[in-house]
Amino acid sequence: MNDFLKELKGLKAKEGVTYEELAETLKDKFQCHLTANSLANKFSRGTLTGKEVAKILAALGYEVKIEKNKNWFFVADFLLRKINFLYKYM
């Protein structure tokens, strides 16, 4: 979770947005009543909810996308074949 928060803070910094500006954008776009101080506290404590993260990302110009990792099956299959191959010749 800490890596994710670091990434989110990095995006905020990359966009040059302060907590005050972020709070104002969240209020205007999403009627979200978080103050700059409460945002800073939530970032530092790691207590942002999923909905808050989605709104923050949208306010920064990003979107949340969840995709199934299609490569995992092929990697697992490849490793199992290697293990079976090695096991036969032990």
2-48 tens-digit pLDDT: 788 888 999 999 999 999 999 999 999 999 999 999 999 999 998 99
**CA distances (Å), origin 34, targets 10, 81, 90:** 20, 52, 62
| Poorest-pLDDT segment among 27-31, 60-64, 71-75 | 71-75
Q: Using CA atoms, how far apart are residues 24 and 26, in angstroms rounded to an integer?
A: 5
- Looking at residue 14, what is its pLDDT? 93
- Map out the domains of the chain with their CATH numbers: 1-90 (1.10.260)
- Looking at residue 2, what is its pLDDT? 74
Cβ density class 39-74: b for 16+ within 10 Å, e for less: bbebbeeeebeeebeebbeebeeeeeeeeeeeeeee
Q: What would the mean pLDDT of 42-65 be, rounded to a whole number?
A: 90
Environment class of residue 24 by beta-carbon count within 10 Å: exposed (0-12), middle (13-18) or buried (19+)?
Answer: middle
Confidence of residue 66 (pLDDT cuts 50, 70, 90): confident
Q: What is the pTM of this model?
A: 0.71
